[in-house]
Structure 1
């Protein structure tokens, strides 16, 4: 029965992995890694089952660990998962070549490394017996190794380490973590149980029964900060305040969706110079707009121009958009099915918008060259309610090599959002994929592209 239960747990984990949302939540390569590990466990258990005798067969010790990893990945505040259950290569200057980290991701807008322990607390030791020469298996050495690696990392550098003990941790070791490493206990709001649906026959009919599979009632989570300060004083002092919100009464009948979206943003006046960094990032959630997002917000396609475009003769549209005709028509059909302003409204509602200087100048230039009168009007209003910050890409972003896929201008835009711990709203998923391929976690919000139409 224990063997059958373990196999069933493997099947449940595989299903949960397959249901993990892709795109900016978790990369396809990370899902493949998890599925490979889970299926390997299932194959091992199947071999044990087929070759077992009357003696009790050994059970896999890894399924519980995988369950805990997937449990964390399902948390709503976990995004940008770029690496799972793999060692992280380190600089040749360090005394070890790599360290194992279970999850590299973004948690509450900050890049983190997560270490998962599924061990019984009774068998977790602070250090090995003093008489033993090998001291590499204790919790103390493991944390020392991780913190040293985190501080020396470049593009993968986290702001903190997150330690998840699925079966809890003894009071003695908890106190030592806090005293020696400055760890703080977190309350992330994880549910206590994982559930799956099972089938049961009742009176000739099959019914679904909700079954608790794993309990995490004893779980505890610790955070150890290792990163640099988020903002420097020069950036805070040079950051201008946004204008207070004024309803676009004169234009609301013409741009209702646009006005509604902007009115949902956090536009309260904030004195950045006299505000502590912690308050700026904690109380006021920021969102960093890339150029593609600004274009999408003001585009005629997004603001009621789809019918007009479809009613225009194809020859005229081909003359206007040249080789981009199919691209624009595809956006029109996409807009009819899923209006983008409604979609973006859910992502940016209650948040304060920022743009870096590079995006500000590029957006104004594009609208000046290709925007129509209404698009220019919307762009002018939009810029009033965004805070322009200096180009200030994070150190870890700038540590990435500049290549064709990792262009410098994109590193500046996304890196500025990373510096301010703000998700970047973008349609440039090619850059996001290129970053994820090097294992770096990046907090982004994807949107579908929209073009300026001359509206």
Structure 2
């Protein structure tokens, strides 16, 4: 219970957080709208309450729950937020507070800001609740039967803590493990701190795991690497990547789609933008035909913001993986459209990557194939998903289409670049 004035102050502070701190990189626009709607609805309720009484009102407010959502959403380890405080489709109305990615794995998060004295394990008539056990049971059943939104684990976050007896039941009956909220978990500048009281638990759900996957192609190119990767920006960028090995599970991986490979070897991103801009328009139109405007726009973009500067922080110290279908498509495109320098860079690039079989995750395979969600993209992004590796891509349309399904998927977008025949 709290005074209306205090609850109103906290609501306005939460609105400031949404407007100033939560960006599209951590939460989609629709999720931001959901947060704003929830907070404004609470603020409207509080304003109505404050004007309906002449004495200072003491009320039960949802602001603690909303602050807890914001606290979680601002954690650096939380990415790919796709749903907030909504019932899941095809789950008999099961409500999940956050659908997102935690440490590269898809998760569902349940959030509680209740006083731990009022969180009971079994149904309680005195507390008028159905009990935590039943709640977790329902969500776990929905998680196990889910397809495209299937999580690897369920996270339970109790911002005001949890009674030891209840937490013991949670660990004994569901195999929950307590999450330490230290490393990578930061304090959020709201009206209160969660550092001492909060507790979080993780319950594993059957999900795709990369441990059983096999590698198709791992070669020792150490000597080639030392000779080839020196002297220009492309070689310098490639030298920041780690060479693959037979034991890469659990390592820091990044999955490349065809657009990413093309961007890395393109003449535009490898110093050719100036020559394109300086060339006669008639020559370029004859060379690129209907793609003229597209190529010129990319060259202008490259001169303003060089691609490699953007990608260096993304791929440095990572092990690159690429699936079979991408290798096949990439080689075909380079053979048809690439010039001698682009073909040479393509050969060097493939030596840096670990080729893995096409093996899309079950949840990606479960998505219906449509014009916007093509089968070949489901294979590429789904293979990265199965390895818990973000996919580097310029395919913004596919990323948007996936977001519209509510799936939390690890992706890193970059600006497109075309082959120029360099």
TM-score using structure 2 length = 0.94
SS of equivalent residue, structure 2 residue 87:
strand
Q: Deviations over 1:204-227 (max 9, x none)?
A: xxxxxxxx5444421111100012
1:49 matched residue in structure 2: 50
- Give, in angstroms, the shift of residue 193 of structure 1: 4.1
2:273–2:302 CA contact under 8 A, matched in 1: yes
SS of equivalent residue, structure 2 residue 94:
strand
Q: Does 1:34 align with 2:35?
A: yes
2:196 matched residue in structure 1: 217
Aligned pairs for 1:180-259 (under 5 A) are 180-189=173-182, 193-195=187-189, 213-231=192-210, 233=212, 235-236=213-214, 238-245=215-222, 246-247=224-225, 249=227, 252-253=230-231, 256-259=232-235
1:260 matched residue in structure 2: 236
1:149 matched residue in structure 2: 142
2:75–2:185 CA contact under 8 A, matched in 1: no
Aligned pairs for 1:326-365 (under 5 A) are 326-365=293-332
1:83 matched residue in structure 2: 83
2:255–2:392 CA contact under 8 A, matched in 1: yes
2:249 matched residue in structure 1: 281
Unaligned runs of 5+ in 1: 92-96, 197-211, 273-279
1:79–1:106 CA contact under 8 A, matched in 2: yes
1:24–1:445 CA contact under 8 A, matched in 2: no
Q: Deviations over 1:168-208 (max 9, x none)?
A: 11111111111111111112436574326xxxxxxxxxxxx
2:274–2:303 CA contact under 8 A, matched in 1: no
2:107 matched residue in structure 1: 112
Mark the CA change 1:53 to 1:116 in structure 2 (over 3 Å): closer, same or farther. Answer: same
Q: Deviations over 1:325-381 (max 9, x none)?
A: 221111112112221112111112111101111100000011111111111110000
1:438 matched residue in structure 2: 405
Aligned pairs for 1:84-99 (under 5 A) are 84-90=84-90, 97-99=92-94
2:111–2:157 CA contact under 8 A, matched in 1: yes
- Give, in angstroms, the shift of residue 66 of structure 1: 0.9
- Give, in angstroms, the shift of residue 103 of structure 1: 0.5
User: How many residues end up aligned between the 2 structures?
Assistant: 419
Match of 1:422 among 389, 395, 399: 389
- Give, in angstroms, the shift of residue 110 of structure 1: 0.5
- Give, in angstroms, the shift of residue 89 of structure 1: 2.2
1:67 matched residue in structure 2: 67
| Aligned equivalents of 2:155, 2:119: Cα separation in 1 | 17
- Give, in angstroms, the shift of residue 160 of structure 1: 0.3
| Aligned equivalents of 1:192, 1:319: Cα separation in 2 | 55
- Give, in angstroms, the shift of residue 411 of structure 1: 0.6
Unaligned runs of 5+ in 2: none
1:101 matched residue in structure 2: 96
Q: Deviations over 1:280-310 (max 9, x none)?
A: 433x111110111001111111111111111
1:14–1:38 CA contact under 8 A, matched in 2: yes
- Give, in angstroms, the shift of residue 18 of structure 1: 2.5
Aligned pairs for 1:318-397 (under 5 A) are 318-397=285-364
| Aligned equivalents of 2:134, 2:229: Cα separation in 1 | 63
- Give, in angstroms, the shift of residue 90 of structure 1: 2.4
| Aligned equivalents of 2:38, 2:219: Cα separation in 1 | 49
1:271 matched residue in structure 2: 246
2:208–2:362 CA contact under 8 A, matched in 1: no
| Aligned equivalents of 2:26, 2:323: Cα separation in 1 | 24
- Give, in angstroms, the shift of residue 41 of structure 1: 1.2
- Give, in angstroms, the shift of residue 58 of structure 1: 4.0
| Aligned equivalents of 1:239, 1:160: Cα separation in 2 | 29
Q: Which moved more, 1:288-297 or 1:224-233?
A: 224-233
| Aligned equivalents of 1:423, 1:166: Cα separation in 2 | 30
- Give, in angstroms, the shift of residue 229 of structure 1: 4.7
Match of 1:448 among 412, 415, 420: 415
